[in-house]
């Protein structure tokens, strides 16, 4: 469990503009952990009714099912929350869901195979889950931003899932054939992509979680400035929105 705790703390601290509530992170982590059960059932059913070579199974079933499970863990609660108002938030919640999944999976593997397997999984498998979850979360954050800007969000979600399913399947395939060196290279590539996405996410302005919504159940954000046209949060004294170019002046706004 230690690698999961370290990685989750690392990503949480990287969210430097507006930290996510620990309660929502915990819920997302738990939902990811619970997701191990349906994922295992689906994988067993797929093996029983759709037998395919192990290398194909790594892509078609294991990678696909596990990444969709972690995606669902974010969509169920965190994605719907008004706290999710930055692309970086998607990375935080994606990592939380993935580490919840990885923690339970790791415990099961250790109980089955002993503590020796924990070392290798702690170095590679658990961090990989975090990386894949973070990459998926980055695109989920872009999707929510685009949705708030009344744009199609589906392409971002599909792109993120396609990337992590491919990386997951490729890593598992290489591990199955015993090509540890290539598996490590895939892991390093994933880490590089993950760190690039964190850096990029921190440059993308927050978007108003109230964009297009005026219900009384949503909190007041009167202390912040938001573009009245696209809902992007403004951090300085801009007279024009840095995202859509609309004139915003000095007016404080919580919705369009």
Q: Which two tokens stand for residue 128?
A: 């990989």
> Of the candidates 133, 53, 59, 125, which has an alpha carbon nearest to the alpha carbon of residue 93?
133
Confidence of residue 253 (pLDDT cuts 50, 70, 90): very low
Q: Are residue 62 and residue 189 in the same domain, yes or no? A: yes
Domain of residue 233 covers: 207-256
- pLDDT score for 151: 76
The whole-angstrom separation of Cα 116 and Cα 13 is 31
Give the mean pLDDT of 148-171: 89
- pLDDT score for 240: 60
Q: Are residue 151 and residue 253 in the same domain, yes or no? A: no
The whole-angstrom separation of Cα 91 and Cα 199 is 11
The whole-angstrom separation of Cα 26 and Cα 22 is 6
Q: Are residue 229 and residue 139 in the same domain, yes or no? A: no
Q: Exposed, middle or buried, 42 (CB in 10 Å: 0-12/13-18/19+)? A: middle
Q: Are residue 68 and residue 118 in the same domain, yes or no? A: yes
Q: Are residue 90 and residue 191 in the same domain, yes or no? A: yes
Percent of the chain residues past pLDDT 70, beyond the cut? 80
Percent of the chain residues past pLDDT 90, beyond the cut? 45
- Hey, which residues does 207 pair with through a beta bridge? 232
How many alpha carbons fall within 13 Å on the CB side of residue 126?
A: 27
């Amino acid at each position: 469990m230690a690698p999961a705790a370290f990685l989750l703390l690392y990503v949480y601290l990287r969210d430097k503009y507006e930290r996510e509530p620990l309660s929502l992170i915990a819920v997302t982590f738990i939902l990811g952990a619970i997701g191990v059960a349906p994922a295992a059932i689906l994988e067993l059913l797929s093996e029983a009714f759709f037998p395919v070579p192990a290398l194909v199974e790594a892509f078609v079933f294991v990678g696909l099912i596990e990444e969709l499970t972690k995606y669902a863990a974010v969509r169920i609660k965190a994605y719907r929350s008004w706290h999710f108002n930055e692309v970086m938030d998607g990375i935080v919640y994606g990592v939380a869901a993935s580490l919840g999944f990885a923690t339970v999976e790791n415990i099961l593997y250790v109980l089955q195979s002993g503590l020796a397997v924990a070392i290798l999984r702690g170095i590679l498998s658990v961090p990989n889950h975090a990386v894949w979850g973070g990459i998926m979360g980055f695109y989920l954050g872009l999707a929510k931003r685009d949705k708030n800007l009344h744009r199609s969000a589906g392409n971002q979600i599909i792109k993120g899932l396609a990337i992590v399913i491919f990386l997951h399947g490729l890593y598992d395939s290489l591990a199955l054939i015993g090509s540890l060196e290539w598996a490590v290279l895939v892991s390093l590539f994933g880490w590089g992509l993950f760190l690039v996405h964190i850096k990029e996410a921190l440059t993308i302005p927050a978007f108003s979680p109230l964009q297009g919504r005026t219900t009384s159940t949503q909190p007041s954000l009167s202390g912040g400035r938001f573009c009245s046209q696209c809902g992007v949060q403004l951090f300085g004294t801009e007279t024009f929105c840095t995202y859509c170019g609309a004139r915003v002046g000095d007016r404080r706004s919580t919705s369009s």
